[in-house]
Structure 1
Amino acid sequence: MNLYRVGRFLCAVFLRIFYRVKVLGKENIPKDGGVLLCSNHIHLLDPPLVGSFIKRQVCYMAKAELFETPILKHIIRRLGAFPIRRGMSDRQALRTGLNLLKEGNMVGIFPEGTRSKTQELGKGLAGVGFFALRSNAKVVPCAIIGTYKIFSRVTLVYGSPIDMNPLRENKASAEEATEKIMEGIQELLNEYQ
């Protein structure tokens, strides 16, 4: 049986029991084609949370340090993750992400690049805008709301895809595209918090 599907099922059960997860907007996830799934980042459990309640596999861009642990690196690679070296321009990670999107896969990314300690949305990094502009993928904002306290509620909201065509046509910068995506995430946080 597929490791990703088994992991997704087990994570969904765990998250529903211990964090009473409420999922909104699953209908906003395109059924096929390249999708860039962009979420705020508040906890270590965010990647399994974001991917556990949708049918499509999410290939995550993950910090390179996770790929240095022998057992973990084999597991996360089999789950579709690929490494990025933070704090520098990682051309290999950009190429890998772009190729996955162009091949019609779903790539999950946390534009802030790290977890927020305050639950407030931080500044997004330009890489997410690069993917959005260069891939023609659908860009779906996602918001995680809650504190991950055991038996408290965590809400996961998938927003409507953001229309990136005006930015592509106007040859906007990666920073401008990132700003548009972050606004989409912030709107979800404002609406559902």
Structure 2
Amino acid sequence: MISPMMIKIMQCLPKKIIHKISNKLLNKYINKYAKIEVKGIENLKNIKKPIIFVCNHLSNSDALILNKVLKNQELTFVAGIKLASTPLTKLGLELTNTIFIKPNTADKEAISNIIKTIRKGNNVLIFPEGTRSRTASMIEGKKGVVLMQRLGKATMVPIGIWGTEKLLPINDNDMGAEKFQHAEVKLNIGKAINFPDKESNEGKHEYEEKMLNIIMKSIAKLLPESYRGIYK
């Protein structure tokens, strides 16, 4: 596994070399441990950009798999700030454009940066649950994703992912000690979400709740039933 010392040495290298080494190392791990199956890639043909991709969250390997599968989409990831604290996740961050967000807070600066990124025409990937599920099933989504979609006016595409909870299991005692295991990883890409117009008698809070429910259920439909959690 990648050591903290290796990361420190790499940080002294030019950015291009760090990117190249990170890409080689992480692809080596993914190719060795993950058997990846992707469905629905055809749903991305002729789709209007920018796109907000929304996906359930099971493991720190989710972003690595998504970045590999969606490499042609030039994604900007929205990630929790603590991911910059471990050797493995630091390597992953070297491969992606990332906007850090403070979990469980109204991080107005991060949300503003995300919306600006979308308005510039860049694709963004968000995990609406805001954290990895500890039960391998979906947990409640956060309303921030609704605001991003509404203000960014982007196409929203749901993705269901599973098997990554076995590929890189969560270690709540020490995230830096998480290790890859052999696993089958499934990725299911859905069609763009169609949102209904706000009804005249519908309050803002009610409409946002409805939109969030549509987003989360669109993800859930792409997953096996046992992974759908509260969105069955």
Which runs of structure 2 are paired with 1:31-70 in the superposition (5 Å)? 33-54=49-70, 55-67=72-84
| Distance in 2 of aligned mates of 1:8 and 1:129 | 32
Q: How many residues align?
A: 191
Name the counterpart of 2:222: 188
**Maintained 8 Å contact 2:57/2:127:** yes
**Maintained 8 Å contact 2:51/2:156:** yes
**Maintained 8 Å contact 1:133/1:168:** no
Q: Using structure 1 for the length normalisation, give the TM-score.
A: 0.82
Q: Does 1:148 align with 2:166?
A: yes
In structure 1, runs of 5+ residues without a counterpart are none
**Maintained 8 Å contact 2:54/2:156:** yes
**Maintained 8 Å contact 1:144/1:154:** yes
Root-mean-square deviation (CA), in Å?
Answer: 3.2
User: CA-to-partner distance for each residue in 1:143-185, whole Å, 9 max, x for gaps?
Assistant: 1122424333110111111012x24677663332221110001
| Distance in 2 of aligned mates of 1:48 and 1:74 | 10
| Distance in 1 of aligned mates of 2:20 and 2:57 | 23
In the superposition, relative to structure 1, how do residues 180 and 12 fare at CA in structure 2: closer, same or farther (>3 Å)?
A: farther
In structure 2, runs of 5+ residues without a counterpart are 1-15, 168-180, 228-232
Counterpart secondary structure, 1:20: strand
**Maintained 8 Å contact 1:4/1:57:** no
In the superposition, relative to structure 1, how do residues 2 and 100 fare at CA in structure 2: closer, same or farther (>3 Å)?
A: farther
| Distance in 2 of aligned mates of 1:78 and 1:151 | 22
The structure with more radius of gyration: 2
User: CA-to-partner distance for each residue in 1:82-106, whole Å, 9 max, x for gaps?
Assistant: 1111121111111111111111111
| Distance in 1 of aligned mates of 2:161 and 2:92 | 25
Counterpart secondary structure, 1:153: strand
**Maintained 8 Å contact 1:19/1:148:** no
2:32 aligned to which of 6, 17, 39 = 17
